[in-house]
Amino acid sequence: MSLGLYLHIPYCFSKCRYCDFYSAPGQRGVPPEYPDALLRELHRFAPDAPLRPDTIYFGGGTPSLLTPDDVARLVEAAQPRPGAEITLEANPETVTEETLRGFRAAGVNRVSFGVQSARDSQLKTLGRPHTAKQARAAFAAAQRAGFTNISGDIMLALPHYTQAEFDETLELIENGGATHVSAYLLKIEPDSAFGRKPPEGLPTSDEAADFYLYAVEQLEHHGYQQYEISNFARPGYEGKHNLIYWDCGDYLGLGPAAHSCMGGKRFYYPPDTDAFLHDTAVPVLDGSCGAEDYLILQLRLRKGLNLEAYKNLYGKEFSTAQLAFVQNCVKAGYANFDGKTLALTPAGLIVQNTILAELL
What is the reported pLDDT for 190? 84
CB 5 within 8 A of CB 56: yes
Average pLDDT (305-324) is 95
Question: From CA 5, how far away is CA 253, in angstroms rounded?
Answer: 6
pLDDT in tens, 277-299: 999 999 999 999 999 999 999 99
Residues 6+ apart with CB under 8 A from 234: 179, 180, 223, 224, 225
The pLDDT of residue 21 is 73
Residues 6+ apart with CB under 8 A from 279: 37, 40
CATH 3.20.20.70 spans which residues of the chain? 3-245
For residue 61, cis peptide bond before it (omega within 30 degrees of 0): yes
Confidence grade of residue 334 (pLDDT, cut at 50, 70, 90): very high
Q: Using DSSP, state whether 116 is helix, strand or coil.
A: strand
Per residue in 193-234, pLDDT (tens digit) is 888 888 899 999 999 999 999 999 999 999 999 999 999 999
Cα separation, 318 vs 149, in Å, equals 39
Looking at residue 110, its pLDDT comes to 98
Please give the single-letter amino acid code of residue 218: Q
pLDDT bin (cut points 50, 70, 90) of residue 315 is very high
CATH 3.10.580.10 fits 3-245, yes or no: no
pLDDT at 266 exceeding the cut of 70? yes
The span from the CA of 164 to the CA of 215, in Å, is: 11
Phi and psi at residue 108, in whole multiples of 5°? -70, 130
Say if residues 30 and 66 touch (Cβ distance below 8 Å). yes
Angle between helices 307-314 and 291-298 (to 10 degrees): 160
pLDDT at 30 over 70: yes
CB under 8 Å to 137, separation ≥6 — which residues? 92
pTM over 0.75: yes
Task: Pick the closest to residue 304 from 264, 272, 352 (CA basis).
Answer: 352
Rg (CA), the chain: 21
Question: What pLDDT does 329 receive?
Answer: 97
Q: How far is residue 90's CA from residue 18's CA, in Å, rounded to a whole number?
A: 17
- Indicate where the chain has its CATH 1.10.10 domain(s): 302-359
CATH, domain range 302-359:
1.10.10
Mean pLDDT of 308-335: 96
Longest CA–CA separation in the chain, Å: 60
Express as a percent the part of the chain with pLDDT over 70.
Answer: 99
Of 239, 250, 253, residue with least CA distance to 3: 250
Residue 23: what pLDDT? 77
